[in-house]
Structures are given as C-alpha cells and as structure tokens.
Structure 1
Amino acid sequence: MRHQLSFPCDGVPLAATLDDAPGATGLLIVSGGNEIRSGAHRGMATLAQRIAEAGHPVFRFDRRGIGDSEGENGGYTSSAPDIAAALAAFRHAAPHLARVIAFGNCDAASALLLHQPLALDGLILANPWTYESDDTGESSDPALPPAAAIRARYLARLADPKSLLRLLKGEIDVKKLARGLSALRRKPAAAAPDSLPARLNFALATLPCPATILLATGDRTAQAFIENCQPGAVPVERLDSTSHSFAGDDGEWLVERVLGLLTRPQ
C-alpha cells in the first residue's frame, strides 16, 4: 500500500512516499538532479511499485526545495542531511526493517558516495555524475559528449563498411582521419586531487558498505564515469542502452538488478 507522509530535515518538512511491504530489506530511492520523487516519466514511482509488489518496502522523498518539500534547494552536494533524515524516517515508518539499501541515479548516485558514511547496508549507484557543478551548486549537462563517447563513435564509424567504402573512394579527409586516430591513442588526463572524479574515486575505495554500479553504456553520463573514475573492487553491471533513466524496456532490467541486490545474501 502507498502512503504519503512528511518528515523534518533541519527544521523544514520534507514530503515522502512509502510503498509498504512486509520484507525486512527496504529500498531508499534518492532522486537525481531537480527531479521530484516520482522520477523522470514517473520511473521511480513505477520502480517503487514493482519492488514493493515483490515484498520490499520502498521510501522516496523530495529533498529540500524540490517538489512538495520546503526549504532551500542546495543541490546534491548539500543533500547529506536530507538523505540521513529520510533514512531515519524510513526506519520509523517501517520498524520491521532490518536492512536498508539506497538507490540513486546520476548525481543522486554521486551524493550517496560523497556523503558517506551513512547508516546504510548497501548502495546501488546508477550512471554516477562526474561533471563539476556550476556556480549555483547544480549540475549542468556539458555541451560536448565525453571523450569516451567521441572515441566510441569514431571506432563505430571505422567498423562500418560504408565508411570504409567512402575512404576508398576518397570521400574522407585522410589528414582528419589520421588526427582522429591519433586522438584515440591518447590517455585522458589525470583528475585533479580536489576534482569530483577524484573525490568519487576516494569514496569508492573507502566505502563502508557493499555497492554495485549500474551503467547504461550509451548514456553520456555513464560514459564520462567510465572515462573519469575507477570503480576498483566495486562490481559494475552494464546495459547496452542510451537511456539515462532506464526508460521503457530498460526498466525491466533495472527492476531485475535491484531485486537481485535486495535479495542477495549478506
């Protein structure tokens, strides 16, 4: 059964939704960007319903200044109190819980990494955000795709017989092609010690709880993560998709992965 409720965070009320279920392992969904708790195209609401139908309680919330919640929106970098308060509210609303695993997509995944330690039993991190925030503290989509995406597209064209035929016909600029091939061999520059990728790498290497990374390999944000971060011992599961929010049929893949991680033996 779905319940609407509220809980306090630094003196302001935040709105939340609980999909109740009898299971002892629950899912805390943290929304990315400025999305409300229902998610893009109600994707998080659908995910919550599916997970609850499988027997696991699910808690979603709007952080301060987003959706139905009051307060000032400070972006994902200042969301640690929101996540901690939501976790406490989840445990209060579902006192039978023994374990809570958090799921976040995009900068919500990055927030779950950056704000550790949190009293969580596991993390599911989808397409973590690695771009630096703008002056307001909010993430902004870069104008150009990451270098990894450019290289992947270049290699795909080289493997295309039509492109090879154009090369033989002299329709492709050989000098430009040579410059592109040279760029494919270049290694990306190391991240600055205080950069977001470096901080995420440190968080991944020092996690106090188990985690799994989910990547839609055709998504620009996921491609940037692949290029900029080193998961280390954290397992990575990949889906051949361009959907950042796992829309359409990709939602089934996401549900299967989340359920598998919720039911995995400790």
Structure 2
Amino acid sequence: MLDRRDLLGLSAGALTLGGLGAARASELRPAQRPRPPYRVWFQPRQFHRDMSLYRHMTIDASGWLDPALCELTGRTGLRWVYGTQNPFAENSDYWTTELAPPARTSSHLGQPFVGPGVAIDEWVPPQRPGVEQYLADGLRAAKEADPDLFLCVWYTDLREPLVKLIKDGVVDLAIVEGYTHTPERFGPGAYLAWTTCLRRCEEAAAAGTLDNTIFSFGHITDEPHIHGQRLSPEQLTERAEEIKDRYPQMPGVAFYQSDSPDTPELRELVRHCDRLSGRLWPDAPAG
C-alpha cells in the first residue's frame, strides 16, 4: 500500500491533474507569493477543524493543505516534493517535472489555479551517488523556467550546494530541522540535542544565509519522548526566545507537527506555538 509520501512523490507527468496540465498560461490563476515573516507549519493537522489554532500561520510547507484553500484564507500552501532522500531519481527530470506549473495546478477555485511553490523534503546527506547534483540542477532549472516559483527546502546539516542555491536566489527559504522532542514510539535516535540545533543555526550564520533561513521546532506533540518527558509551553517559549535573540536576521519560525492523535492537550500546545510565532515574529506595521 502506498503511503502519503509515495502518493505525493508520484510523477505529475503521469497524472492528468483534472485535464488542466496543458492549460495555457493566460488561463492560469497565479497564487500570491509569501513574504516575511514566514510562520511555517509542517502537517497542520487540525487546520480544517479549527483554523483559529493556526491564526498566525502563513505557510503550510508540507503539502498537507490544498494550496487553493490556503489562498482563500490568506495563506500559502506549498506542494511536497522529495529532496536528496528521493528513492528513484536518476537525473534532474523528477524535480523539473514536479516543480513545473502543471504539477502545481488545480481547479479548486473554479478556474485553473497554480500553487505558488514547492517545499523540498528534505536536503540530507545523500545515500545515492549523484542525487545531490540532480536535485541542485533540477531546482535551478525549475527556477529559471519559472522565476516566480517559491522554493522552500527543509534541511539538516548545511551543505555547500544548498548554500550556493540560497545565495543565487534559487532557494527562497531554508528551514533548519531542529527536532528536540519526538514521541517515544519513534525510538531513541530520533531527536536532537539542543546544542546540535544551535550548531546548525551557527552553520547558517557562518555561511551568510540567515536572511533566508528559519528554525523549525518539533515534534509538536503531547506525547512523551523516550525519557517520559512531555514538551512544555515554557520550554518552547524559552528556546524560541533564544533563537530570536541569537539570530534576529531569521525572518520567521517553523513547527513540525507530529502525527499524534487529536487531543485537547495537543490543541493547546499548537495554539501556544501559534501565539509564540505571532509575538516573536510579528507582521511589519501597516504603511
């Protein structure tokens, strides 16, 4: 059985996309590109039940929400696409296809609508020879073909090919994966030390990419981790304030929501993260 990532990873070239793949550019409704501050969520699972939990969210960078729905609510929905963990790409064609307008097109607003961009999940040390270069070449070609494409990349340790893409304006937003809390069922090796998270941020500072980089907290869950501790609002506040103080150039923040069951406790934690993002990374004053 295919899981969600398998389904999202299927080549858009093999899909009809409701017969809109060949729509002329003049018929396509473009989406609004996001602007800072970026308040990002991965898998905002309760959004369709209670949008008030994500009042300050500006971007879904997981493919969880329909980009057309996001557009209607004044937010940005990005398409999910494999990164260097791609299990099958043998050249750059996968990315040039999956990032192109036909792959981002739907008719959910009553006319052809092109989603604003793509979230690459994720840029990690590649396990297969050549795949990192395929990814870099595919992103660059896609951006050259569609300069309005908004490109977001989730990453672990910063690698030189990604640095170059950020500095060349190919990648608009890079998100540091800083997951200090994971449910116990994920095992002992799934979470990071806070010092590792700060090291990843320091790598961005040293590379000069902080203006296009934000930090992601995770996993946002009310489940305990392997040592029996639960993620607390106080801990999230303390560490978010530390990130803000250390790296004021970062234009926002992100949260990775776990697949934990929907509970009142989880909802309150999500609401806390949302309010924290709005307080520390507020909108610019009007005018």
* TM-score (norm: length of structure 2): 0.37
TM-score (norm 1): 0.39
Which of the two has higher C-alpha Rg?
Answer: 1
